[in-house]
Chains A and B, each alone.
Chain A
Amino acid sequence: MKFGVLVFPGSNCDHDAYHVLSKHVGQPVDFIWHRETDLSGYDAVIVPGGFSYGDYLRSGALARFSPVMGAVKEFAAEGKFVFGICNGFQILCEAGLLPGALMRNGNLHFVCRHVNIRVENAGTPFTSAMPKSRVLSIPIAHADGNYVCDDATFRAMEENGQIVFRYCDDNGEPTADANPNGSRSNIAGICNLDRNVLGMMPHPERACEELLGSNDGRDIFRSLANNIAALAA
Chain B
Amino acid sequence: MKAKVYVTLKPSVLDPQGKAIHHSVELLGFEKIGDVRQGKYFEIALDPGITEDEARETAEKIARDILANPVIEDFSVVVDPNGT
State the A residues within 8 Å of B (CB). Answer: 57-58, 61, 65, 93-94, 99-101, 103-108, 146, 148-150, 182
* A182 and B36 alpha carbons, distance in the complex (Å): 19
**9 further interface pairs, Cβ-Cβ under 8 Å (given A148-B71, A149-B71):** A58-B69, A61-B66, A61-B69, A101-B72, A103-B16, A107-B16, A146-B16, A182-B14, A182-B16
Cβ of B13 within 8 Å of any chain A Cβ, yes or no, is yes
- A-B residue pairs in contact (CB < 8 Å), sample of 13: A57-B67, A94-B69, A101-B69, A101-B72, A103-B72, A105-B16, A106-B14, A148-B71, A148-B72, A149-B71, A150-B12, A182-B14, A182-B16
B17 near A108: Cβ-Cβ < 8 Å:
yes
Q: Known contacts A100-B71, A101-B72, A148-B72: does B66 contact A108 (CB below 8 Å)?
A: no
Q: Which residue of B lies closest to A106 (CB)?
A: B16
Residue of A with least CB distance to B17: A104
Tell me the complex Cα distance, A233–B72, Å.
Answer: 43
Q: Who on chain A is nearest to B42 by CB?
A: A57
B interface vs A, CB < 8 Å? 12-14, 16-17, 20, 66-67, 69, 71-72
Instruction: Compute how far the CA of A148 lies from the CA of B13 in the bound complex, rounded to whole angstroms.
Output: 8
Interface of B is mostly: loop
Give CA–CA (A8, B13) in the complex, Å. 29
Shortest Cβ gap from A105 to chain B (Å): 7
Chain B residues with Cβ below 8 Å from A101 are 69, 71-72
A94 closest partner in B (C-beta): B69
A65 cross-chain contacts in B, Cβ below 8 A: 66
CA distance A105 to B16 in the complex (A): 8
Cα–Cα, bound, A149→B13 (Å): 9
Q: A104 and B69: CB pair below 8 A?
A: no
Q: How far is the CB of A193 from chain B (nearest CB, A)?
A: 17
Cα–Cα, bound, A103→B16 (Å): 9
Alpha-carbon distance A182/B13, docked complex (angstroms): 12
B16 touches A108 (CB 8 A): yes
Q: How far is the CB of A157 from chain B (nearest CB, A)?
A: 13
Within 8 Å by CB of A57, from B17, B66, B71, B72, lies B66
CB distance from A159 to the nearest CB of B (A): 19
